[in-house]
Structure 1
Amino acid sequence: MSEQNVISEVKKPRLLIVAIALGVILNPLNTTMITVALPSIQNEFQLSAGDISWLIASYFIISAIFLPLFGKLSDYYGRKRIFLGGLGLVAISSFFAPLSPNMMVLLGMRSIQAIGTSALYPAGIGMVRSYIEKNQNRVIATLAVFATTSAAFGPTISGLLIQYGGWPVIFYVNFPVIILSALLAFKMIPNDQKRTDGRYKWDFIGILSFALLMTSWMIFLESLEKGFDLWKLIFSIVITLFFYYYEKRRSEPFINVHFLTKNLNISFIYIQYVLTTVIFFALLLSIPTYLQKVMMLDSKTAGMMMLSISVFSMLMTPITTRWTESFGFKIPLLFGGMVGIVGVGLLLTANENSPLYWLFLILAIMGISNGTLSISLQNLLYSFVTTKQSGIASGLLMTSRFIGNILASSVYGIMFASGINDESKNGMTIVLLVVSFILIPGMFYITKRGARGTQ
């Protein structure tokens, strides 16, 4: 059956998009819902800040590895099959994770969950490209927004529910989304067409070296709390160079580094996205714990406080989209960057005696910054790529987000290794302030030339 006939099979494309969108939000929600639960998990299993950072970072490392892998596997073995298989893995992990008797079992269940959720975005993007003909790029951009800004609601959702069911509830809350997404997917997504143009060529060395690359940098960053380890740094650099030059020579690489080197402007957008994610996710990780352990708030109140960053981030998405359509990308990006500097700077003024409205205001400012930067960078990216390049561009965008998440969890593990208090919070804030200033010159670079892609 031709692709055009498959497109004509889709009678209700909006419901197909809903099925995909529901699956797509599972990854970002599960990366952040755990943030409010961290104090409870830490107390129950007697974990250190380093243990907690690995519980978080392992999810991102696995996601960063499997997201591009599933993108390729779904092309060869069927996007509907991969999508439904991903939902199944999330369901299994969400059922057994709350029963975990120790840290290792919980880590294993989180790993299975990461693998499952990583299948959903690339398979979903592939289905949009195959089955949605009208406004295809706009739908892809919308799903990219779903996959990022929905993360901001994770702490609020978990904060409201944990008070009534403890930390296990952050896994059970997945089931309504899984069930609805699966039902719509079964009904609305056309069956996969069997490919006859060969089998998938596994890049095992590329996959393993990328996994080693991510893990080695995480180990190096975590070790900084005890001092600088030159050999770990050298090893990480060597693995990175090996991965780059190996993948550059591959005709079908695991990560298309040739695409990145050929399109430097796009590569700088990814770097900006990594740095923006570092700031955003470091706040999502640390503030809920700070609110509960330093300001002595319950999980419900902490979750409600985090609502400020999520609501304002979401509100800025449509506003910024219209803003960039009218005035281009430079002004919104610079606005988001400068507002972020103000917000991070004001975080230095907050302490355990600060009124809640003051912290709420600071988080709202950070939400405005993140919402403006995220959607501007995503839309700028899609303005530089052609329709044919949208798949690889969106996949690398998600990989960039996970790299930012990994770096943020490293900052969290290092700065709060000796405990969470005003001093450690301020130390993290200074790091984020430096990152915020680094963003500004990059914004001038990525907006100095006009977009050349098609929308």
Structure 2
Amino acid sequence: MDIQSRGDIGMAVEKNEKFIILAVALGIILNPLNTTMITVALPAIQKDFQLTSTNISWLIASYFIISAIFTPLIGKLSDIYGRKLILLIGLMLVVVSSILAPLSPNMPVLLLMRGIQAIGTSALFPAGVGVIRNTIQHNQNRVIGTLAVFATTSAAFGPTIGGMLIQFGGWPVIFYVNLPILAIAIGLTMVFIPKDKKNTAISYKLDGIGIILFSFFITSWMVFLLGLEQGVHIGILILAVILTVIFYIYEKRRDEPFINVNFFRKNLNVALIFGQYILSTVIFFAVLLSFPTFIQSSLGASSQMAGIVMLSLSIFAMIMTPIATRWIERKGFRVPLMSSVLLGLVGVILLFTVKDNSALVWIGIVLAVTGISNGIQNIGLQNLLYSFISVSESGIASGLLMTSRFIGNILASSIYGVAFATGMNEGNMKTMAIVLVVVAVVLVPGMLYVTVSEKKNREKTV
């Protein structure tokens, strides 16, 4: 290819940047959107298939387990086989699952379709970010950061969108709604995203054992946590601990590990930030997962009204993102992040005031407090993370941050399954509140430590 041809391609890409970003954005929102749209549909699915709360928890948690496994794996494969190719494969898998999931005759088939959907959506974030890095030349880091926040924030709108749509077609409609988004994303990807360049220089050794160990230890912890309602199963706990230790030791010795545990060992402050992000996600998603069902089952509201009330959580989380960004730029990390964890503690304490006869307006206020807290923590922790690492480590840090979010979601699903195993009611809401208060209290000293460390780190570099 001559210089003139390369120049023409470069100009074409620059001209189509907005369409490329739109194509990637539409793909990226599918994972968080599909993990939360289903929350409003849980009562209907539970009734249709005669499921317990524990069964429903597996419908949610399996999605995150699969996403946690495939997101880093597909990210590496997209570097080798091409981002556009992987992006299109991911989109097509979501098309297949979105068409077939509503036709599921039983829970196992629905789980299978959700699994295929999880694999497909897992491809969209790493492949999409790779496309942005390869094609977007203007404000690339800002675009990637905006997409990451956009993906996380869009999760909060899932219950509202699902609640509105279920009124017209029952729970299957939450899958069909993906199809117009997919049609636009596939069209934009095929037309505007440049063809992949063959990359024979990169070689990747698949860490099959690491993937298997990761899958087993995550699943074993999930089984243990969901079994707490019947008592502590010592055998499963011991198995989970052993598998976790084996996974850590094995991955520590790998040159190309599935999860780079050595990155945590060398960056203790970064490891603590990931821990804070997991705990923050636990609170946010536990509230996001439980309230749509509580509003319908305990308060007797429709799925549409549940979706409207859940807007309080999503809108305040979204509004706080730009506000928190400016606040951090002016005051540093400590004051905004410490304010957010204290506000988050207030939010989970307010869960004790939620009753079977609570006014929907009060429910909205309680959700708003959690939304404000999470909006600050979400963007604050992401920016705090990048203040501790070099530019060359940003790729691995982004991938691990996404894995941390999935782990937080898995833990929240476990809390939901255990707390509401005997049904959705005021008493079990208080049980969940007790657990979340403990999580919120643990967040306080951790956030104080990392923000103090960041200030010292900044003073050294000045």
The TM-score with structure 1 as length reference comes to 0.97
Q: What is aligned with 1:330?
A: 334
Whether contact under 8 Å (1:218, 1:410) holds in the other structure is: yes
Q: What is aligned with 1:10?
A: 13
Following superposition, the deviation at residue 298 of structure 1 comes to 0.6
Alignment identity in percent?
60
Answer yes or no: is 1:294 the counterpart of 2:298. yes
Q: List runs of 5+ in structure 1 lacking aligned partners.
A: none
Q: What is aligned with 1:259?
A: 263
Counterparts of 1:335 and 1:176, CA distance in 2: 40
SS at match of 2:156: helix
Q: What is aligned with 1:231?
A: 235
Q: 1:198 to 1:134 in 2, by over 3 A?
A: closer
Q: What is aligned with 1:285?
A: 289
Counterparts of 1:257 and 1:76, CA distance in 2: 23
After superposition, give the CA deviation of every residue in 1:110-162 in whole Å (9 maximum; x if it has no partner).
Answer: 00000000000011111222222322222221111122111000000000110
Whether contact under 8 Å (1:320, 1:332) holds in the other structure is: yes
Answer yes or no: is 1:70 the counterpart of 2:74. yes
Q: What is aligned with 1:144?
A: 148
Counterparts of 2:265 and 2:124, CA distance in 1: 27
Counterparts of 2:22 and 2:388, CA distance in 1: 27
The TM-score with structure 2 as length reference comes to 0.95
For residue 304 of structure 2, what is the amino acid of its counterpart?
A: K
After superposition, give the CA deviation of every residue in 1:32-59 in whole Å (9 maximum; x if it has no partner).
Answer: 0000000000000000011000011000
SS at match of 1:255: coil
Counterparts of 1:356 and 1:293, CA distance in 2: 13
For residue 377 of structure 1, what is the amino acid of its counterpart?
A: L
Q: 2:423 aligns with which of 410, 419, 426?
A: 419
Q: 1:109 aligns with which of 113, 134, 155?
A: 113
Q: 2:61 aligns with which of 47, 57, 60?
A: 57
After superposition, give the CA deviation of every residue in 1:204-233 in whole Å (9 maximum; x if it has no partner).
Answer: 001111111110110111111111111111
Q: List runs of 5+ in structure 2 lacking aligned partners.
A: none
Counterparts of 2:126 and 2:341, CA distance in 1: 29
Following superposition, the deviation at residue 9 of structure 1 comes to 5.1
SS at match of 1:33: helix
Whether contact under 8 Å (1:330, 1:444) holds in the other structure is: yes
For residue 208 of structure 1, what is the amino acid of its counterpart?
A: I
Counterparts of 2:142 and 2:150, CA distance in 1: 12
Following superposition, the deviation at residue 440 of structure 1 comes to 0.7
Counterparts of 1:154 and 1:382, CA distance in 2: 28
Counterparts of 2:374 and 2:251, CA distance in 1: 32
Q: 2:372 aligns with which of 324, 346, 368?
A: 368
Q: What is aligned with 2:186?
A: 182
Whether contact under 8 Å (2:70, 2:119) holds in the other structure is: yes
For residue 306 of structure 1, what is the amino acid of its counterpart?
A: M
Counterparts of 1:229 and 1:272, CA distance in 2: 28
Following superposition, the deviation at residue 264 of structure 1 comes to 1.1
Point out the more displaced range, 137-146 or 405-414. 137-146
Q: What is aligned with 1:93?
A: 97
Q: 2:273 aligns with which of 269, 277, 281?
A: 269
Counterparts of 2:449 and 2:12, CA distance in 1: 44
Answer yes or no: is 1:250 the counterpart of 2:254. yes
Following superposition, the deviation at residue 198 of structure 1 comes to 5.1
Counterparts of 2:372 and 2:439, CA distance in 1: 17
Counterparts of 1:330 and 1:136, CA distance in 2: 27
For residue 333 of structure 2, what is the amino acid of its counterpart?
A: F
Counterparts of 2:179 and 2:392, CA distance in 1: 35
Structure 1: 4+ residue segments shifted above 6 A: none
Whether contact under 8 Å (1:144, 1:394) holds in the other structure is: no
Whether contact under 8 Å (2:90, 2:124) holds in the other structure is: yes
Q: What is aligned with 1:135?
A: 139
Q: 1:214 to 1:8 in 2, by over 3 A?
A: farther
How many residue pairs match? The answer is: 453
Whether contact under 8 Å (2:80, 2:200) holds in the other structure is: no
Counterparts of 1:386 and 1:306, CA distance in 2: 38
Q: 1:137 to 1:117 in 2, by over 3 A?
A: same
